[in-house]
Structures are given as C-alpha cells and as structure tokens.
C-alpha cells in the first residue's frame, strides 16, 4: 500500500511519519483483534520518538553544515538499529513475537525504516533550501 503525505507549511510531523511507517510494518485487517491494535499503537509510539530524533538530528546537521549538508545523499543508517530493536522488543510477549524475531522480517523492517528515515532527512533538506516566504518561515522556525 502506498501512502502520500502532503504538507504545504513545512516538513511532516514525527507523528505523521510514525503513522505512515507503522502502516508499512503492522498491517491490520478489518477483523484485527485488540492485541494487534495495541501493538500497532505501540509501534506508532516508538516510531514517533525515532522520527522526531531523525528530524532533530538532521536539523542540527543542517544548522552546522548549511548547504554543504544538502549536497550529500541522506544516510539514515545510524538511526535504524535502535528503532528496529525497540520494535522487536515491543513484539516480545505478544502473538507477533515469533514473526518479528525472523531475520527476513527484520530485514524488511530495516529497509522500510531506512527508506522513511532517509526521505524524512531529504524533506528537511528540501525545506531548508525552499525559496520564498514559506522557506523563510521554516528557516526562521528551525534555524534561527
């Protein structure tokens, strides 16, 4: 399933990112039970913290490196391992523990987290470079 985030006044919030990323990790059917829904909410909570950390880290790097940061491909690798570990840990003691313990599932999660964190980083860079009033407002809010 493809989800599209739209924002005309700055980067997407960590909460928005968390919901979209979680939808790629926990796929709930209409008949999903309470344990599945609770697990999904836990994953969203975990991802919101990690997406916020990615955004804060990227803004800090942009603040110090300025345009030099924007010429390199985003590398989210330092953010993936901790997020993955927390999701796997959250699955322990749930009906999903065995599934999230599988190497191929963790490889998939690593891929999804990497894609979403890298995109979030690129969006931060794009908004930093954004011309005009909208970009000016974003830079004033995040870069002083």
pLDDT tens, position by position, 117-129: 999 999 889 888 8
| 68 assigned to some structural domain | yes
Q: State how far the Cα of 96 lies from the Cα of 137, in Å rounded to an integer.
A: 44
| 82 assigned to some structural domain | yes
| 10 assigned to some structural domain | no
CA dihedral of 11, 121, 80, 36, whole degrees rounded to 10: 20
pTM equals 0.86
Q: State how far the Cα of 112 lies from the Cα of 96, in Å rounded to an integer.
A: 18
| 50 assigned to some structural domain | yes
Please give the residue range of the domain that contains residue 83. Answer: 15-23+32-143
| 3 assigned to some structural domain | no
70-111 tens-digit pLDDT: 888 999 999 999 999 999 999 999 989 999 999 999 999 999
| 4 assigned to some structural domain | no
Split into its structural domains, the chain has a count of: 1
| 7 assigned to some structural domain | no
| 2 assigned to some structural domain | no
């Amino acid at each position: 399933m493809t989800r599209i985030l739209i924002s005309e006044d700055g980067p997407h919030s960590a909460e928005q990112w968390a919901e979209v990323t979680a939808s790629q990790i926990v796929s709930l059917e209409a008949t999903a039970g309470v344990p599945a829904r609770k697990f999904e909410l836990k994953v969203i909570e975990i991802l919101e913290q990690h997406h916020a950390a990615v955004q804060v880290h990227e803004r800090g790097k942009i603040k110090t490196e300025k345009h030099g940061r924007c010429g390199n491909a985003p590398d989210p690798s330092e953010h993936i391992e901790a997020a993955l570990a927390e999701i796997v840990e959250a699955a322990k003691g749930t009906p999903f523990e065995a599934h999230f313990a599988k190497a191929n599932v963790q490889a998939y999660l690593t891929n999804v987290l990497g894609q979403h964190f890298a995109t979030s980083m690129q969006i931060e860079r794009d908004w930093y470079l954004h011309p005009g009033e909208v970009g000016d407002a974003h830079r004033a809010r995040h870069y002083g």
